[in-house]
Structure 1
Amino acid sequence: MNDSTVVVETIDTDEPKTISLFGYELIREILLPEILGKDTPEILYWAGKRLARKFPLTDITQIMEFFAKASWGQLEIIKENKTEIQFELMSPVIVPRVKSKAEHFFQLEAGFLAQQIELQKEANAETFEHPVKKSNKVLFTVKWEKN
């Protein structure tokens, strides 16, 4: 193969990149549900768990940084106790989804959170999503229990 047929692109992960919101939403809102059908929420949840296993993170701060780098939004802890953490996710990108979808559209993120917490706490974990239409954000409740 000669140099004219090879394209090499170097991506600096610390430098912010611009992505097409239309392209992102086209895949997420139209293509994936078309391919996955009625099982979309469940498959996205398990896909999020699989992503978390491919990108294991050691603490909550790294999870928040991952969300930002993945363009999923700004993730913050609202409250935490011995068996539960509640997160808030905000981003202009999620506003149309929060307003238009009643439930189950943040299952990729929910599965990712469940698996990360499961790995960090060494316990079985599950995440529940709660879109909040009035404030254009999503709350995630992650609950866990030791085996």
Structure 2
Amino acid sequence: MKDSIVVERQIQTDEPRNISIFGYELVREILLPEILGKDTPEILYWAGKRLARKFPLSDYDQLVEFFINASWGQLNIKHESKNQIEFELASPLLVSRVKSKAENFFQLEAGFLAQQIELQKEAIAETFEHPAKKSNIIHFTVKWDKKDQI
């Protein structure tokens, strides 16, 4: 019996990548809702939280880099206060989801942000999404309460 061979591949972040918008949307907007049904938003939110637990990030820069590497878009902090952070997410892949009448298309990202901030702030956090249809940008508000420490 032959030994198995493990091949490690280094992925360079500056290497140009092409992502099929059709393929991305096919899975994201058609297949997942078909499989998950009416519970799609809730399941995607909790799936995002689960992903964040598998990929804990220690700071904002790592969070931005993760969003880029996951092809979720460019994430920016717009405002931070004592108990909340407002993020803005922009990407060409967001255009059709923002313009559609469907709600809760960004629950995967929202759950991911909630869990990352929860880990970083050591307090229970929740994220709310706010699609801006005219600008093709998504705003997320992550709120936490230091009284609800983890």
Using the size of structure 2 for normalisation, the TM-score is 0.89
* Cα contact 1:47–1:111 (8 A) shared by 2: yes
The verdict on how the C-alpha distance between 1:97 and 1:11 changes in structure 2, with shifts beyond 3 A counting, is farther
* Cα contact 1:102–1:131 (8 A) shared by 2: no
CA distance in 2 between counterparts of 1:72 and 1:123 reads 25
Tell which deviates more after alignment, 11-20 or 47-56.
Answer: 11-20
The Cα of 1:13 is off from its aligned counterpart by 4.1
CA distance in 1 between counterparts of 2:37 and 2:12 reads 33
* Cα contact 1:103–1:130 (8 A) shared by 2: no
SS, match of residue 61 in structure 2: helix
The Cα of 1:101 is off from its aligned counterpart by 3.4
The Cα of 1:12 is off from its aligned counterpart by 1.2
**Paired residues for 1:24-35 under 5 Å:** 24-35=24-35
| Identity among equivalent pairs (%) | 74
In the alignment, residue 96 of structure 2 is paired with which amino acid?
A: P
CA-based RMSD of the aligned residues comes to: 1.8
The verdict on how the C-alpha distance between 1:13 and 1:47 changes in structure 2, with shifts beyond 3 A counting, is farther
Match of 2:55 in 1: 55
CA distance in 1 between counterparts of 2:47 and 2:138 reads 19
Using the size of structure 1 for normalisation, the TM-score is 0.91
CA distance in 1 between counterparts of 2:12 and 2:69 reads 8
Deviations 1:48-81 (A, max 9, x none): 0000000000001111110011000000011000
SS, match of residue 16 in structure 2: coil
SS, match of residue 104 in structure 2: coil
The verdict on how the C-alpha distance between 1:12 and 1:47 changes in structure 2, with shifts beyond 3 A counting, is same
Match of 1:10 in 2: 9
Match of 1:109 in 2: 109
In the alignment, residue 142 of structure 2 is paired with which amino acid?
A: V
Which residues of structure 1 form unaligned runs of 5+?
none
SS, match of residue 135 in structure 1: coil
Which residues of structure 2 form unaligned runs of 5+?
none
SS, match of residue 82 in structure 1: coil
Match of 2:96 in 1: 96
The Cα of 1:10 is off from its aligned counterpart by 3.4
1:37 and 2:37 are equivalent in the alignment: yes
The Cα of 1:131 is off from its aligned counterpart by 0.3
Deviations 1:80-115 (A, max 9, x none): 001000000001110110000342000000000000
Match of 1:127 in 2: 127
1:140 and 2:140 are equivalent in the alignment: yes
Tell me the number of residue pairs that the alignment of Structure 1 and Structure 2 aligns.
143
SS, match of residue 71 in structure 2: coil
